[in-house]
Each structure stands twice: as C-alpha cells, then as structure tokens.
C-alpha cells in the first residue's frame, strides 16, 4: 500500500488525539475514584509546588501583578507595611534582617535600601532570580543576599540577626511540630533582644465550611493552555486545619495534576505559647495588621515576638 505523506500525518494526528483522549478519560476516572478526603500533608508536604521552575515562573507574574495582592501585597500596601515593620522591629540602618520565604525580595530589597543587611531565603527559583536582579538594579546586592533554599534546611543558629520576617502565612503549611521547630530555628538565629514578625491567618476568621468549586482558563497559575480546575476544601474542626485538594486537568494533553494544600490555624493563645516555647519572652499580637491599609488585613494576625535578654 502506498501511503502519502499527508496520510501519515492524518494517521499520526488521529493516534495522538486518541492518545490524549485516553489520558483525559483516565484522568476523569482518577478524579472519580479519588479518596473521599485527602490526607493533610500527603503530597508535596501539603504545600504548593513553589519550587517547581514552571510554577515558580507563573507565580512570579502573580507576585508582581499590581491588580491584586494575593501572592505579594501591592506596592502601596507594602510601603505601609515596611514603615510599620521598621518601627515594630526597631530597625535602623545597619540592622541585620533574616527574611524567611522572602519571595521576589519585595521586602528584602527595600530594607537593604534603607541600610539593613538582609539575608533572604526562598526556594522558588524564579522569585529568587527576580530578587537578586532587583537587588542589583537597586545597587544593594552587597547588603541583600538571597539564598535559594528550603527554610527547613536553613541553619542560621548563632547568626545573631537583629530581626526576622516571616510574612504572608507560610508557617501554616507545616504540621504543628515542624512549625514549632521552625520557630525555634528562627529564635536561635536571632541575637539578644532580636525580634520576629510573623503573620498568620486569624483563626476566628477562617472559612470553616467544606466546599467545592471549579473554573476553566487558558492562562494562570496552573498553566498557559486550557485547563479545568476542580477545587475541594475540607475543614478539620478538631485540628482547626483546612485541607484543600485541587485537580488540574490540562485539556490539550490530558495530564492531571493533584495539589494538596494544608493550612494549620492557631488561636492567638496557642501561637503565643509556641513562640515562648521557641525562646521568645514577649509576644504581642496585632489583629488586622494593626489597622494598616492591606486589602485582606482582617484575615490576619501579626505577631511581634522579642527574644529574652542574654
């Protein structure tokens, strides 16, 4: 049989479509057969795939997007926060600052511009690259070191930082025991009277309903080709913890991503006790960002913790 070039194309096209359709079918069955409730921290430690290079590049767009403050706060919001942090952390030119989960350096670089010596740690490759470029652009590379690392592996015990930042709720994705260890690591990295500002969801305000939702798009956090997002949210009333499960179905390939995102919430009393166990002597909790004009301020509690003298 003589097969024309165009015929081969057609045959291949049909096969490819069939292949992708099979992937889509398999993915739908996988979703159908999913466990009723996801186990918290079951996948990727219950965290978003921040350190995946493609996800990180897409997330960076969200960090820099000035139309919302969902990944990093917008420029005006951060300007207000930076003044507040400057005062609450008793910062001055020459202060040394440890910024955990520094993202694209939108706090680290301005603090370096104010004269601080900043060490930022984050494991999102695109954010880290951006933070370094921003530091270079603002001529503060020498005083703003950005380290690409998992904060769980960061060991700055004895570094004697004057202050630490742990902003935008990232501690919540760790189970309680790991969160306690991380707080101790931060306390150990601070010097005498070192201060930490940590931002966590206000337990009194979190959504405690189970829910499901879906949407479609062809660009966004999950990819830049048509995808279907299926979301489920589960609230564990005993543990005061939410676990979200996202199924992302990529329509052109049939690839299915499953993301499990766990968020541990804390009552102010519990977090205060954890900070004291970690080595902080005084803890002040500020609800709603102490009245700062931050779009979702009401959802947050900001703790300022100070280490015991000597």
Ligand X SMILES: C[S@@+](CC[C@H](N)C(=O)[O-])C[C@H]1O[C@@H](n2cnc3c(N)ncnc32)[C@H](O)[C@@H]1O
Binding-site ranges for ligand X (CB under 6 A): 47, 50, 71-72, 101-103, 106, 121-124, 127, 150-152, 167-168, 170
Nearest to ligand X of 243, 256 (CB atom): 243
Least distance from C-beta 136 to ligand X, angstroms? Answer: 18
Residue closer to ligand X by CB (options 72, 117) is 72
- Is the Cβ of residue 199 or residue 306 nearer to ligand X in the bound state? 199
Q: What backbone phi and psi angles, to 5 degrees, belong to 10?
A: -65, -45
Q: Which C-beta is closer to ligand X: that of 149 or that of 255?
A: 149
Beta sheet of 256-264, edge-to-edge order: 211-217, 227-236, 241-250, 256-264
Rounded to a whole number of angstroms, the minimum distance from the CB of residue 41 to ligand X is 12
Instruction: Decide if 258 contacts 247 (C-beta within 8 A).
Output: yes
Q: How far is the CB of 278 from ligand X (least distance, A)?
A: 17
Of the pair 104, 223, the CB lying nearest ligand X is at 104
Long-range CB pairs of 177-182, under 8 A, 24+ apart, other chains included: 178/152, 179/264, 179/274, 180/274, 180/277, 180/278, 182/151, 182/152
Cβ 204 to ligand X shortest distance, Å: 21
* Least distance CB 179 / ligand X (angstroms): 12
Residue 26 Cβ vs ligand X, minimum distance, rounded to whole Å: 31
State the residue number with the nearest CB to ligand X.
Answer: 103
Residue 228 CB, nearest approach to ligand X (Å): 24
- Would you say 121 or 305 has its CB closer to ligand X? 121
Nearer to ligand X, 47 or 203 (CB): 47
Q: Are 171 and 198 in contact (CB under 8 A)?
A: yes
Nearest approach in angstroms of CB 250 to ligand X is: 22
**Distance (Å) of CA 266 to CA 169, 201, 210, 275:** 11, 8, 19, 12
Cα torsion through 26, 29, 33, 34, rounded to 10: 70
CA–CA separation, 11 vs 236, rounded Å?
A: 51
Cβ proximity to ligand X: between 101 and 256 the closer is 101
């Amino acid at each position: 049989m003589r097969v024309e070039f165009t015929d081969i194309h057609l045959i291949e096209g049909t096969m490819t479509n069939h292949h992708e359709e099979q992937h889509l079918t398999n993915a739908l069955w996988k979703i159908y057969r999913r466990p009723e409730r996801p186990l918290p921290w079951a996948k990727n430690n219950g965290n978003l795939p921040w350190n995946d290079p493609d996800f990180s590049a897409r997330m960076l767009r969200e960090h820099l997007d000035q139309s919302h403050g969902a990944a990093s706060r917008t420029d005006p919001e951060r300007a207000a926060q930076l003044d507040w942090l400057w005062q609450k952390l008793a910062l001055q030119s020459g202060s040394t600052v440890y910024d955990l989960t520094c993202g694209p350096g939108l706090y680290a670089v301005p603090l370096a511009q104010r004269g601080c010596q900043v060490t930022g740690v984050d494991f999102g490759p695109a954010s880290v690259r951006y933070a370094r470029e921003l530091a270079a652009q603002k001529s503060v590379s020498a005083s703003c070191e950005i380290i690409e690392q998992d904060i769980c592996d960061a060991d700055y015990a004895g570094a004697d930082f004057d202050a630490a930042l742990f902003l935008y709720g990232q501690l919540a994705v760790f189970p309680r025991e790991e969160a306690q260890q991380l707080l101790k690591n931060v306390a150990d990295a601070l010097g005498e009277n070192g201060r930490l500002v940590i931002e966590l969801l206000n337990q009194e305000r979190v959504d405690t309903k189970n829910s499901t939702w879906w949407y479609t798009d062809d660009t966004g956090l999950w990819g830049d080709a048509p995808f279907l997002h299926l979301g489920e949210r589960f609230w564990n009333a005993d543990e005061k913890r939410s676990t979200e499960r996202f199924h992302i179905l990529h329509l052109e390939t049939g690839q299915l991503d499953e993301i499990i995102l766990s968020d541990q919430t804390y009552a102010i009393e519990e977090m205060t006790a954890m900070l004291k166990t970690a080595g902080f002597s005084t803890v002040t909790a500020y609800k709603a960002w102490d009245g700062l004009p931050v779009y979702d301020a009401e959802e947050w509690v900001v703790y300022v913790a100070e280490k015991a003298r000597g």
